[in-house]
Chains A and B, each alone.
Chain A
Amino acid sequence: MVVGDLTDEAVDHLFHALADATRRDILRRSVRGELSVSRLAEAYPVSFAAVQKHVAVLERAGLVTKERHGREQLVRTDPDAVGGARRALDQLEMAWRGRVDRMSDLLATGGQDG
């Protein structure tokens, strides 16, 4: 995780930003960096201003950047903020190690039913 390099204040911002389901959803939708704040706002049953505020919280936490594109501002989730490519393979490895452990446990304890 990125936490190791951050100040306490930055970690507070990060956790605050990620503690909200709508903001996590905005992060997922903004990975491609193609959506403006108004397009994002269409996806949620809250006001444009509320979504704008969510994006500002994410921006302050360093999780998204805004890029001016004509009259619109496009929101992009910053991949470096949440991890580089190497971390993806590390996470996949951790996921599979966990699975293999659970498979071992099932085989050890389950008898023919395991």
Chain B
Amino acid sequence: MSVTHVDKDFDNLTLTLVAEFDAPIERVWQLWADPRRLERWWGPPSHPATVEKHDLTPGGEVTYFMTGPAGERSRGWWRVASVDPPRSLEFTDGFADEVGTPIADVPTTAVRVALTEHDGGTRMVVRSIFGSREHMERLNTLGAIEVFQQTVGQMDALLAG
């Protein structure tokens, strides 16, 4: 079982997504709390994530990079706002430069994750809010570029094979 509900609020720049998992809350929490598990799902298959720093405490930081098909790396970071295992996690998600320093000037999203026991499994609500409309449009530009990179990468692979 997976996504059961999605709400996109264009006025408040907010995505809310509800998912249900057939697993106990502790195991779902471990997907976030264990960096080796986190890196198995955070990045898309074309851009797998490698988690470097992983400090899930208030004010703590998670840093990661994603490696693209041509070996190119894009770096990101979380700044943890609050954490209450195994029920909730709030953090800001942003981009970083080549050496991992957060880029103050690029888009961020505020992410809130809430886990609850539900029907013998676990319900996860993820709410993701863009920092500003300008942020959203800029992130969109970056996202579109990534999609194109991915497409071009796949075409390269097809042509090579």
On A, residues with C-beta under 8 Å from B are 1-2, 15, 18-19, 21, 24, 27-28, 31-32, 77, 79, 82-93, 95-104, 106-108, 112, 114
Contact = CB atoms under 8 A, between A and B. Distances in A.
Q: How large is the interface on B (under 10, 10 to 19, 20 to 34, 35 or more residues)?
A: 35 or more
Q: Which 8 pairs, one residue from A and one from B, show the smallest C-beta to C-beta distance?
A: A88-B140, A102-B41, A82-B144, A107-B23, A91-B143, A100-B19, A89-B8, A88-B136
Per DSSP, are chain A's interface residues mostly helix, strand or loop, or mixed?
helix
Interface string B29-42: 00100000100111
Per DSSP, are chain B's interface residues mostly helix, strand or loop, or mixed?
mixed
Interface in B124-161: 124, 126, 128, 130, 133, 136-145, 147-149, 152
Interface string B17-30: 10101110001100
Given A18-B152, A88-B130, A93-B8, A103 B141 contact: no
A86 B10 contact: yes
Contacts of B2: 97, 100-101, 104
